[in-house]
Amino acid sequence: MPELPEVETVRRGLQPVLEGARLVGVEARRPDLRFPFPENFSARLTGKTITALGRRAKYLTIHVEGGPVLICHLGMSGSFRIETPDGSEIPGVFHHERSKSAAHDHVVFDVVSAGGARSRVIFNDPRRFGFMLFAEGTPDTHPMLAGLGVEPTGNTLDGVLLASLLEGRRSPLKAALLDQRLIAGLGNIYVSEALWRAGLSPLRESGTIAKAGKKAAAQSERLAGAIRSVIADAIAAGGSSLRDYVQTDGSLGYFQHSFAVYDREGEPCSTPGCGGHIERIVQSGRSTFYCRTCQR
């Protein structure tokens, strides 16, 4: 699944083309993706102006004048591409080939910018695990978004807040960080990276960094900072770009080349003076990569 940095990269790629543009045509080429398209999907969007393009956790939110809000999830293989009337893409070089088969072009948005430029935004999803749903009113009240935790961006997530979220929890620290009700948008890759940066084991009891005392306070502050920084670095690099995920311009980000632990089983740990090696274990059916020498 694309994680928060991938979705934010897509949002930033779509924003210059979609925000302020008018939807002159919307075509759904099949009745469903993971879920059926909303009733009157095309009719409720066609002719309206897009006022804002947002993101909540791993979901894109497309706001149009007078509503509704379109909630989009990329699923496992979904991607957007932007085409001009002459068929060229804006802009980018493909580092991995992706599907361009019309059989997988499931939704087409024809838009005209405020300046009169026409373009086409196409959602392609071979596995059809993505979805598009409507939210009436505030999107945060939609069942897909209601109950999501704090965003791991900006300075809202600090040590004090993180400690309050983890207080009394006995689950492994990695499992707690993946709980979307606590922190929204964190996924397997970036949790592994953040725990390494913070020097904390994914296996330790999550509530241990929420106990009274300076040591736990320092650990929670260190982890909060690591989460914020690893997400910020990934967004700046364009996302992790694993497997099917692509940016809207067709190019891929390069943060995967900066991974310290993820998918580096057996390699030396890069923590100065550590001397340990990266190990892979399985937690809740998912791979965890960490260094048992410096992550305690």
63 assigned to a ligand binding site: no
Helix 4-18 to helix 214-237 angle, to the nearest 10 degrees?
40
Q: Residues 80, 201: one domain? A: no
- pLDDT, greater one: 237 or 108: 108
Residues 126 and 184 in one domain: no
In a domain, 296, yes or no: no
Q: Answer yes or no: is 154 within a domain.
A: no
Task: Note if 118 is an active site residue.
Answer: no
Residue of 2, 139, 152, 172 marked catalytic: 2
Q: Is 30 annotated among the ligand-binding residues?
A: no
What 3 state SS string does 174-231 have?
HHHHCCCCCECCCCHHHHHHHHHHHCCCCCCEHHHHHCCCHHHHHHHHHHHHHHHHHH
Q: What is the mean pLDDT of residues 51-58?
A: 96
Which residues lie closer than 8 Å to 236 by C-beta, 6 or more apart?
none
Question: What would the mean pLDDT of 46-68 be, rounded to a whole number?
Answer: 96
In a domain, 151, yes or no: no
Q: Is 252 domain-assigned?
A: yes
Q: Is 172 annotated in the active site? A: no
Q: Which of 97, 123, 146 is the last residue of a domain?
A: 146
Q: Kindly state whether residues 19 and 142 are assigned to the same domain.
A: yes
**How many residues appear in the chain?**
296
Is residue 84 in a domain? yes
**Would residue 174 show up in a list of annotated catalytic residues for this protein?**
no
2 is a catalytic site residue: yes
CATH number at residue 57: 3.20.190.10
Q: Among 146, 171, 206, identify where a domain stops.
A: 146
* Pair 123, 246 in one domain: no
The pLDDT of residue 253 is above 70? no
Which pair of structure tokens corresponds to residue 84? 């001009």
Q: Which of 128, 204, 280, 286 is catalytic?
A: 286
Tell which wins on pLDDT, 94 or 34: 34
Structure tokens at 71: 């909630």
Which residue carries 């399985």 as its tokens?
282
For residue 181, give the CATH number of its domain.
1.10.8.50
Task: Identify the domain boundary among 81, 111, 146.
Answer: 146
Task: Determine if residue 104 is labeled as part of a ligand binding site.
Answer: yes
Is 141 in the same domain as 168?
no
Write down the pLDDT at residue 273.
96
User: What whole-number distance in Å separates Cα of residue 266 and Cα of residue 112?
Assistant: 52
Q: What is the pLDDT of residues 128-144, one digit of tens each?
A: 999 999 999 899 999 99
**Could you tell me if 226 and 286 lie in one domain?**
yes
- Residue 281 sits in the same domain as residue 185: yes
Is there a single domain that holds both residue 187 and residue 109? no
Question: 169 lies in a domain?
Answer: yes
Greater pLDDT, 35 or 253? 35
Please tell me which residue in 11, 58, 98, 264 is annotated as part of the active site: 58
Domain holding 71, by residue range, is 4-146
Residue 5's pLDDT is what? 87
Model pLDDT, residue 244: 41
